[in-house]
């Protein structure tokens, strides 16, 4: 179990790889292109540089962490001889089912298969594998190296042994694992996403503006950032995907995505990653947005 693979070098994947590598694990980071892997490794290096600047780690710690990570563009090569695979691909059910079917075919039979999904059924994912007893959810929070929580979600067939192994493993990463049951959205997003969606509805209905809504939640409810800014940070496409999973899973209209959210995603206004969402993240507005974030 000291050798793990992480699938996906995006925001969550590189954060998970960073966290395991900094804790002394050997990590195989897998993505479909060298360009994606380079972006992921560059992000890890920059985040480590920030930690060095804050004197949380040394230059030697940084070098050791980076040395613990090896990159691969093929899944079959990247999952050889690993005790755990953590999938952190896009929150798309068809893609995840395809990945887990492949993992089931190429991983050693004792390998535990974990998914970082924030909403999709672990039982559904496990059903396409030849080892449903060894499939589990490890929902890390963003930014992974900083946030302590990991939601541990066991599927219908996940064994106690696998659950306990992943709970203890999470603790070795310096995380606080919390076991939850396998229902759409689990706990974090079942509570968070309706709040974000209602904030968007509040804007859509003209009750208040973006800054006003976020200020009320920051100053009145002691949230570190407002729900609309948080939605931008998560990615509006991700928020929409999670709400759709919950709406389809529960068939409850309270989870139906706000039309404004749907239209913004259609228009490519995805938040920080696209340069514009509820806030403007273009180069000439970055300083303004940073000051708003910490005000």
- Asked if residue 134 belongs to a known ligand binding site, the reply is no
The reply to whether 11 sits in an annotated binding site is yes
**Which residues are catalytically annotated?**
118, 139, 151, 189
Residue 208 annotated as binding site? no
Contacts 24+ apart (CB under 8 A), 130-137: 130/104, 130/105, 131/104, 132/156, 132/157, 132/158, 133/157, 133/158, 133/159, 133/162, 134/110, 134/158, 134/159, 134/162, 135/100, 136/112, 136/162, 136/163, 136/166, 137/182, 137/186
Encoded tokens for 78: 């990247």
Is 114 flagged in the annotation as binding?
no
Is residue 91 part of an annotated ligand binding site? yes
Answer yes or no: is 13 a known binding residue: yes
- Positive or negative, the Cα torsion across 104, 89, 33, 46? negative
The response to whether 19 counts as a known ligand-binding position is no
Residues paired with 5 in a beta bridge: 28, 85
Q: Please check if 92 is assigned to a binding site.
A: no
The reply, when asked if residue 273 is annotated as ligand binding, is yes
Consult the annotation and say whether 10 binds a ligand.
yes
Output b/e per residue, 236-249; b: 16+ Cβ within 10 A. bbbbbbbbbbbbeb
Please give the C-alpha separations between residue 153 and each of 56, 140, 157, in angstroms, as whole numbers: 31, 11, 11
**Packing angle of the helix pair 227-234, 210-221 (nearest 10 deg):** 110
Q: Residue ranges for the binding site for NAD(+)?
A: 8-13, 31, 91, 96, 118, 142, 273
């Amino acid at each position: 179990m000291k050798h793990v693979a992480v699938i996906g070098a995006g925001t969550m994947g590189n954060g998970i790889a960073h966290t395991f590598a900094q804790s002394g694990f050997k990590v195989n980071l897998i993505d479909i292109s060298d360009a994606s892997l380079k972006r992921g490794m560059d992000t890890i290096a920059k985040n480590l540089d920030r930690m060095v600047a804050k004197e949380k780690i040394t230059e030697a710690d940084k070098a050791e962490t980076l040395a613990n990570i090896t990159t691969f563009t093929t899944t079959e090569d990247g999952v050889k001889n690993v005790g755990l695979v953590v999938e952190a691909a896009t929150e798309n059910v068809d893609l995840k089912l395809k990945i887990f079917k492949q993992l089931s075919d190429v991983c050693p039979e004792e390998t535990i298969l974990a998914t970082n999904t924030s909403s999709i059924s672990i039982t559904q994912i496990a059903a396409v594998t030849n080892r449903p007893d060894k499939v589990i959810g490890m929902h890390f929070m963003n930014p992974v190296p900083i946030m302590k929580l990991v939601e541990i979600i066991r599927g219908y067939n996940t064994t106690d042994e696998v659950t306990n192994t992943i709970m203890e493993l999470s603790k070795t990463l310096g995380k606080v694992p919390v076991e939850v049951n396998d229902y759409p959205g689990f706990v974090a997003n079942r509570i968070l996403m309706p709040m974000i969606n209602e904030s968007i509805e509040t804007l859509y209905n003209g009750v208040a503006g973006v800054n006003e809504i976020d200020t009320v939640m920051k100053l009145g409810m002691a949230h570190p950032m407002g729900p609309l800014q948080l939605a931008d940070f998560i990615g509006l496409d991700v928020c929409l995907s999670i709400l759709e999973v919950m709406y389809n899973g529960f068939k409850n209209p309270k989870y139906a995505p706000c039309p404004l959210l749907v239209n913004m995603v259609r228009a490519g206004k995805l938040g920080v990653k696209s340069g514009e969402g509820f806030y403007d993240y273009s180069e000439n507005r970055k300083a303004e947005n940073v000051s708003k974030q910490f005000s």
